[in-house]
Amino acid sequence: MSTSVMPAVQPLTCLSEEEALFRSTIRDFAETSVAPLVASMDETAQYDPALLPQLFELGLMGIEIPEAYGGAGGSFLMDCLAIEELSRVDGSVGVLVDVQNTLVNNALLRWCTPEQKAKYLPHMATQTVGSYALSEAGSGSDAFALQTRATLEGDHYVLNGRKLWISNGRESGLYIVMANVDPSKGYRGITAFLVERDFPGFSVGKAEKKLGIRASSTCELILDQCLVPKDNVLGEVGQGYKVAIETLNEGRIGIGAQMVGISQGALDAAVRYAKERQQFGRPIADFQAMRF
């Protein structure tokens, strides 16, 4: 019988020195640079113009993108740490970084050809915001019932349809758009396309008015005879459902990190208030009901 001892597995809750430093850096940035902007961004329902360049400069828009492409060369756990710490101060900034990393960059890293990576990843790491466009008016929960169509004409696909509720829609320069190339095949006709903002026939429609996370844009995308080069298929033709499922699996974890951050921020605010609010000459935190 072997007497070798298995190495101890470090719990996920124990961060490495690098991860702890990363979290501390993001927390400091969120508290000093983001927090002062939250109220005005919520009122105007848009990000402060100075914020996006700072996020790129810190490497927060390309956390997992390899350093060879100008990214930070980090991990998925670092994605989640950044999303959580930013959301602790502002859920809008948290979702911006979440969509960029866990949806868009994640899909590009997993499904792009080497040529596509060389073309797009350096921009995603340094200057371009991305969006993930799956949902439509009649295909929310049943996303694979999407009606956007793609028809091959020569060396381009022609896309027609509308996407709704697309996060980062207003700020993005690159969109991962799901369209069906052959409806007779059902979900096996769904294909993912890399659509640049200035492609002919593409436009960003109205932004939704929301009750919360207001600085984050949630927009309609319009594809009217939109011309997309054949080389801009992400993955393989007819494999878009795989791209969608695998990408959303990680995207949901990112949203979980956002919710943890928002919850922590709410608790922190409540504790501060309880220590400051006075009743009968004492902070309400001193009373038994609040302590419970």
Which residues fall within 8 angstroms of residue 37, CB to CB, at 6 or more apart? 48, 51, 90
Block mean pLDDT (10 aa), the chain, length 292: 60 85 97 98 96 97 98 96 98 98 97 98 98 89 85 97 97 98 94 98 96 96 98 96 92 96 95 92 90 83
pLDDT at 262: 96
* Buried-state track 221-256, b at ≥16 Cβ within 10 A, e below 16: bbbeebbbeeebbbbebbbbbbbbeebbebbebbbe
Which pTM was predicted? 0.91
112-119: which pairs have CB atoms within 8 A and are 24 or more residues apart? 112/234, 115/231, 116/194, 116/231, 116/232, 116/234, 117/69, 118/69
For strand 218-229 and strand 149-153, is the pairing parallel, antiparallel, or unpaired? unpaired
| Tokens linked to 214 | 């207001």
H helix intervals, 90-193: 91-98, 106-111, 114-126
Q: Give bridge partners of residue 180 from the DSSP assignment.
A: 149, 190
Query: Residue with structure tokens 């990000």?
Result: 47
Judge whether 193 and 157 are in contact, CB under 8 Å: yes
Q: How far apart are CA 199 and CA 228, in angstroms?
A: 7
Q: Give bridge partners of residue 203 from the DSSP assignment.
A: 222
The CATH number assigned to the domain with range 130-243 reads 2.40.110.10
* Ramachandran angles phi, psi of 145, nearest 5°: -90, 15
Nearest residue to 72 (alpha-carbon basis) of 88, 86, 51, 58: 58
Same CATH topology for 17-129+249-274 and 130-243? Answer: no
Question: Which listed CATH number (3.30.499.10, 2.40.440.10, 3.30.365.10, 1.10.540.10) goes with 17-129+249-274?
Answer: 1.10.540.10
Give the residue extent of every domain in the chain: 17-129+249-274, 130-243
pLDDT at 2: 52
